[in-house]
Amino acid sequence: MVMHREIDRLVAEMVDKGIHYADAAREFERRFLEHALKATDGSLTRCAALTGLHRNTLARKVAEYKLK
């Protein structure tokens, strides 16, 4: 599958560049949530349903990452 190859390439590139797992995971989460919020026009309720996160957890992460 094309997506798997793209993810594998990105992961290999991050490892080669010495990016720590915690930094990569945090950046992935921030961007994932940013895109999910855009897809739901900023609706926390719809974004929570789309991502499978509890709305309170999502609100905390939005504040943490200073999204919106």
In a domain, 3, yes or no: no
* pLDDT interval class at 1 (50, 70, 90): confident
In a domain, 10, yes or no: no
User: pTM for the whole thing?
Assistant: 0.86
Q: What is the pLDDT of residue 28?
A: 95
What residue numbers bound the domain in which 35 lies? 20-68
In a domain, 1, yes or no: no
CATH number of the domain where residue 38 is located: 1.10.10.60
In a domain, 53, yes or no: yes
Distant-in-sequence, close-in-space partners of 48: CB < 8 Å, separation ≥ 6: 54, 55, 57, 58
Q: What is the pLDDT of residue 3?
A: 84
Over residues 39-64, the mean pLDDT reads 98
The percentage of the chain sitting over the pLDDT mark of 70, rounded to a whole number, equals 100
In a domain, 15, yes or no: no
Instruction: Please give the Cα distance from 51 to 34 (Å, whole number).
Output: 11
> Domain total for the chain?
1
In a domain, 27, yes or no: yes
Please report the DSSP string for 40-65 in residue order. TTT-HHHHHHHHT--HHHHHHHHHHH
